[in-house]
Amino acid sequence: MAPRKPPTDDPSSAVPESGAPGAEQGGSELYWRLRQDVLEGRFPRGATLLETALATAYGTSRTPVREALNLLEHDGMLERAARGYRVRSGTPEDVLEIYAARIALESEAAAAAALHRTDLDLARLRYQHELIRGSQDEQVVREANFRFHEALWQAGHNATMIELLVKLTARLRIYDSGPPSPFGGVDALHAEHDEILRAIAEHDADTARAATRGHLQRSLEQRIRTMVEGSAPAP
């Protein structure tokens, strides 16, 4: 099982840097570095990852690299290839399957959040909600949207749900391509989050579940439109 640690979503354009001489990284530590580099697109979808090359790039030996690659395969982010591992490229059908699982899990996580959230959980949700409403920067909105959902999972206080949702959303981010999605409009995004937040604040599990399901279903429909438009022949 991969080590549990809150994922980061901070964008960066830097290439992986070699570690300090003599500073051997363990498999767990390297796992989080390599995971973030994959999520940020430093290794393109379909790229082959070789133990020797990665050990050189990260300034470590092949043993922690092998451990990290095994963990990332377990997460579904990599797959075995003839010459090592390959970043999963996926298909539109993969995206639909992952989203179906996410909708089922996250709607229940929202219901759990309504029942078990603390005042601190609610404050975290409200903070990200206000960031979305107050920003015109698409990247800030994208980051706050991710953090809102992460805070929602954590508010349910179910470690198994959190672990599964982290893995599912990581795989979705690998499959994403092109410029950031506008999520069908920031106003719609904010309105849907507002409904979810109010239900969680009022301990209304049924409304929280239904609102989250509707929100994610709209997001899935937006993805489907993007995939169809991207595969359509040029006029």
Enumerate the domain spans of the chain. 1-89, 92-231
The single-letter code of the amino acid at 80 is R
Task: Give tens-digit pLDDT for 155-190.
Answer: 999 999 999 999 898 888 877 644 445 456 788 888
Helix axes 27-39, 159-175, angle to 10 degrees: 50
State how far the Cα of 33 lies from the Cα of 37, in Å rounded to an integer: 6
Please give the structure tokens belonging to residue 222: 């937006």
pLDDT band at 57 (very low <50, low <70, confident <90, very high): very high
Q: pLDDT: is 234 or 26 the higher one?
A: 26
d(CA 173, CA 169): 6
Partners of residue 49 on adjacent β-strands: 85
Q: Which one-letter DSSP state was computed for residue 207?
A: H
User: What's the rounded mean pLDDT across residues 140-151?
Assistant: 91
Q: Taking the domain 1-89, which CATH number applies?
A: 1.10.10.10
Q: What is the pLDDT of residue 53?
A: 93
Beta-bridge partners for 104: none
Phi, psi of 231 (to 5 degrees): -95, -5
Name the DSSP class of 218. Answer: H
Whose structure tokens read 């206000």? 130
Cα–Cα distance, 212 to 185 (Å, whole number): 17
Segment of 39-48, 96-105, 136-145 carrying the highest mean pLDDT: 96-105
CB-based contact 11:48 (threshold 8 Å) = no
What is the crossing angle of helices 62-74 and 51-58, to 10°?
A: 110
User: In the CATH scheme, what architecture does the domain 92-231 have?
Assistant: Up-down Bundle (1.20)
Whether the per-residue pLDDT at 14 is higher than 60: the answer is no
Q: How confident is the model at residue 21 (pLDDT cuts 50, 70, 90)?
A: very low
Residue 2 has pLDDT above 50, yes or no: no
Contact predicate 67/55, CB 8 Å: no
More confident residue, 69 or 139: 69
